[in-house]
Structure formats: structure tokens, C-alpha cells
Amino acid sequence: MLKLNEVSRAEADEIAAKRQEALEQELSNSRNDDVASTDDRPGGFWTDYQGGPEPQENIVTGVDKSELSSLLIAQTQLPPDFQPHPKIKKLLDGRRAMAEGREPLDWSAAESLALATLAIEGHRIRLSGQDTARGTFSQRHAVLHDQNREKWDVGTYVPLQNVSDKQAPFTVIDSVLSEEAVLGFEYGFSSAEPNALVIWEAQFGDFVNGAQSIIDQFIAAGEAKWGLLSGVVLLLPHGYEGQGPEHSSARMERFLQLAANDNMIIAQPSNAAQYYHLLRRQAISPYRKPLILFTPKSMLRHPDAVSPIADFAAPRFCNVLADNEAKDPHRILVCSGKIGHNLRVERAKRGDYGTAIVFVEQLYPWPEAALIEALEQYPHAEEIIWVQEEPANMGALTYAMPLLRQAAGNRRVLSIKRSAAASPATGSAKAHELEEKALIELALGPAQK
């Protein structure tokens, strides 16, 4: 302003002095216990939402079975003269069987049902990511294409935009391969519209490292630094399946290292119904925190990960899933994700149910009370073992072991995992199979011949 001759030197000095005086007064007030603190709770359209510590109330997320069936059927009804691809026709036939209770629901059906129920309840849905409309593993098919279309960019139909005349908007976007830019935008969108369920999906969970600065600066610390709330959801495909170091790990350890002061929710649901309840809880609850979800790949259609439609009418998400098949076990395996299913498959082959397999579905905040309750179901078990498919310097190991020891009481606590490694996974499918076989044999003991 001096250079522009807008003020004189005396006027500029006066402005600077007043500003310095105001800053000094604010500093003095901050040191005075008698000065009332400012109410920094969110206002405006954020009035009905909250951050802070995890609330203790249990949010009911179940929906009546008849309504669930109707919503699934609605998503199978296409416009007249719309010709779906033969594979899509088979998928829609399967959805009808699920709606009628003839088949259990797989992962993608559970997701579409969660989003449909939320849309008719008034929650705007926004889903973006790389190849998200189809789904990286050809599982979602949120956008259908008429096989009789004359041009590639016409003749599309989005079932989730047509479940009800009174539903909230549903938007699905295939984004560019720029994780930092897209996740940053979705975080901003979620902080501006709390009633919306805003979801960003990585093509593979490994690719989330391209957005690490957004995670560190905003998702993990936004509430602590600025009181800025967000309910953004990250879907990160994660699991060791022999696809190499760039397609195996969503770097769970990094999120768990960032977790503190109830700043986010980190979960790895093990079946379709659990995923459904978790998505609904995220939107229905007034508690607004980023949700980090490690999602499956091969388990998307696996028989062990499907759920009957009755499970979607159950009251809520379970932070821990106990093992009801174990028979007076002497050992308890505690795990999260795909490795638990692998262990159950091998146990069933052996027909030996003397080992219990417990799933931790929510990793942060750690569900201590629910885990203790599950462990107490097996009073004769002498040891508790954390089992993970990730290397020792990755996954949940260093986070979970101290917490597991607290829950174990006087029982011995051990761990089974791959050896520490610089790379998340081997590049050899054969080496992967050998490593996985070794993990399972260590956890269950050598198979009887």
C-alpha cells in the first residue's frame, strides 16, 4: 500500500501497531484461565454432526427383509429395448435369485443394496475412482451399456439412479489416474456436504500411496488441526494373492500408525453383510470420521464371504466375529481379512475344529470389549495367536500385538506372519503359494497324513 501511495508511512505504522496490539491481546487471553474458550463445534449444516471421541451408542443399520428384496429387484429392471451384455444378464438373474432368498448375496450385491437403501433415505451418494463404474475386478457394473447402441458414449443405464422417484442423487465417476488430485477433491466434497456418502476407490489398494500427502495432511489430521470434519470413505483393495508387490498391499500399517485420538475408522470386513452394515453406519451415524476400508479381491465372490439376505436385516455391524464352529479349542487364532477365510477352508478340509478363528473386523478404534467377550467363549484355550499374511514389518502386527496382550489375560500371545521384507510381496506366484502354505501350517499345525 505504501508503494501504491494508498497510505502514508504514519498510517502504515498505525495499522501495524494496532495489529500487533490485537495479537498481543489474543496471546494474553490464551494464557488467562478466566477467559471462556470459544465454542468451536461445527455450525450451519454441520449442526447435527459431531467429531471427537467414538460414541458408545450402537447405530441400527438393518433394514426390513421385504424392502431389501424390493430394492434388489428394482436394480434388475431395465428400460424397454435395452439389450444388456450376456454376462450382465447373468448377473441380473443372480441378483433376482438373491432377492428371492434362493442365493446368498455377494460383495457387490451387498454394496449396491447399501447404497440403494441410503439413497431412498435421502443420503446423496458419490462414488469415484479408477475403473470404478465397472469395478477393477469386474464386480460392480454400476453403469450398464446397451449392446445395440450406435455410439460408445450413448445407451447407458445406471440402476442406482432409478430405484425410486424420491431418492437422493447417485453419482459414479471413472476418474483419471491421479490419486492425490481426486482424493483431495472428494475429501473437500465430503467436508462440504455431511449428509452425503462420499467414496473414493483405489484401483488397487497399493495405488493409494500416490495420495499420501492428502492422507497425512487432511484425512488423518484435519479435525485435530482445524476442527474440520469429514466422512469420506476410502475403498482399498487389499490381499496377498500372488499378484506381485504392486498389487497386494494397501499399506495397512501406515494408516494404523496415523490412527490416534479417534481421528478415523479403520476396518476390514470379512463378509458381504458386514460391508453393507459398515457403509450404512458411516452415513446414518452423526459421528463424522474418515472411514478406511480394506476391501477384498478374490473374496468378492468367494462362498465364505457371501451372506444370506437375513443378515442384512440384522441390527448392526459387528466389530469382532467370534467362531461358532470351534469345539472346545486349545488355541485361538485372531486375524483380519482374507487369511481368516484361508484358515477356515483348511480347517474344514482337515475336519479338526480344535482351533478357533476369530475375525477382528474393525481395527481402529480397537474393539477391546468385543474382543475380550469373544475370547472368553473359549476358556480352555491356552494360547492366542495373531495371524497375518503381511510381512512382520507391515500389516497390523506391531499395532495389534500389545492390544491383544491386554485382552489375553494370563494366556500366552504369539504371532505368525511372513518375514520382514523391503517389498510388500514376492513377485513369484509359486513363492507366494509356498509362503501361504507355510503360514497356514504354522497356524493350524501340520496336517495329519
**Residue 14's pLDDT is what?**
87
Q: Could you report the per-residue pLDDT of 281-306, keeping only the tens digit for each?
A: 999 999 999 999 999 998 898 889 99
**What separation in angstroms does the CA of 350 have from each of 75, 173, 298, 416, 448?**
41, 45, 23, 20, 8
Q: What is the mean pLDDT of residues 356-381?
A: 96
Is residue 86's pLDDT more than 70? yes
Q: What is the mean pLDDT of residues 20-29?
A: 86
- % of the chain exceeding 70 in pLDDT: 97
How many CA atoms lie within 13 Å of 281's alpha carbon, on the beta-carbon side? 26
Which three cell numbers, joined as nine digits, stand for 415? 504371532
**What separation in angstroms does the CA of 60 have from each of 16, 269, 361?**
56, 17, 17
DSSP-derived secondary structure for 226-254: H------EEEEE---SSS-TTSS---HHH
Q: Could you report the per-residue pLDDT of 228-280, keeping only the tens digit for each?
A: 999 999 999 999 999 999 999 999 999 999 999 999 999 999 999 999 999 99
**Residue 270's pLDDT is what?**
95
Is residue 337's pLDDT more than 60? yes
Q: What is the mean pLDDT of residues 364-380?
A: 96
Q: What is the mean pLDDT of residues 55-83?
A: 91
**Residue 49's pLDDT is what?**
86
Domains, the chain, with CATH or none = 65-313 (3.40.50.12470), 320-444 (3.40.50.11610)
DSSP-derived secondary structure for 251-309: -HHHHHHH--TT--EEE---SHHHHHHHHHHHHHSSB---EEEEE-SGGGS-GGG-B-G
Q: Residue 267 forms beta bridges with which residues?
A: 293, 362
Element (H, E) at 113: helix 107-120
The three-point CA angle 160-164-169 to 5° equals: 55
Residue 40: pLDDT band (50, 70, 90) is: low
